[in-house]
Amino acid sequence: MSVATVVVKQLTGAGPTATTVTTPRLSTSDAAAPGTGNPIPIPAADFNFSYWMSLQLTITALNDATLLNNHKFYSDGAIGWTLGTGGKLVVGVRDAGDEGCPAASYDQATGTGGTTGHDMEDNTNGHAYYKDQTTETALVSSFTSGASMTVDSGDHTAAEAFKHVVVQVKVDDDATRGAQSAEVLTFQWDEI
């Protein structure tokens, strides 16, 4: 039996444009491949944010599968980045139902390019699908293989996209300078 072909796409721009990525990188730009440009600077005071990143699991071919569902997202439970006292890596969450953002609710990342993104939780400039929830974000490290986040519980029976996750990093003024180590974030799904 041949399993379905699934890729991770990063959504950027107003459209959005969906770009297949293998090692997405958080930055202060709305770009799928920022390279080493637009790093998140350590602020003199308060916080700086990355532009939020929308990552979408996309089925490109069903092959012998007839159905994919139960899309989950998780980490290893520890983010090893030195982001400072109040720094953190977060993901958008909802008060009820699936945590993932539907395609129709995609919200382009904004901010001051090269300096900071807008906080996802900000009442004015935050992510429209999450900013008005009782709890807008959760620590990515709180989701593990034993306690994963449900992104999309729906059934997918064609080459199409699941709901997407939205992640963002917050950097405090006492963060450590320099490139951070790679972190593994996992997407999981059931396939019939």
- The 10s digit of each residue's pLDDT in 41-72 is 999 999 999 999 999 999 999 999 999 999 99
The pLDDT of 109-124, averaged and rounded, is: 96
User: Which pLDDT belongs to residue 160?
Assistant: 96
Largest CA distance in the chain: 56
Peptide bond into 39 cis (omega under 30): no
Q: Is the pLDDT of residue 1 over 80?
A: no
Q: What is the pLDDT of residue 157?
A: 95
Mean pLDDT across the stretch 91-115?
A: 97
Residue ranges of the alpha helices (H) in the chain?
none
Give the model's pLDDT for residue 36.
87
Query: What's residue 35's pLDDT?
Result: 85
175 — pLDDT class (breaks 50, 70, 90): very high
Among 36-40, 85-89, 91-95, 161-165, the minimum mean pLDDT is found in 36-40
pLDDT at 86 over 90: yes
- With 0-12 / 13-18 / 19 or more C-beta atoms within 10 angstroms meaning exposed / middle / buried, residue 149 is buried
Rg of the chain over Cα atoms, rounded to whole angstroms, equals 16
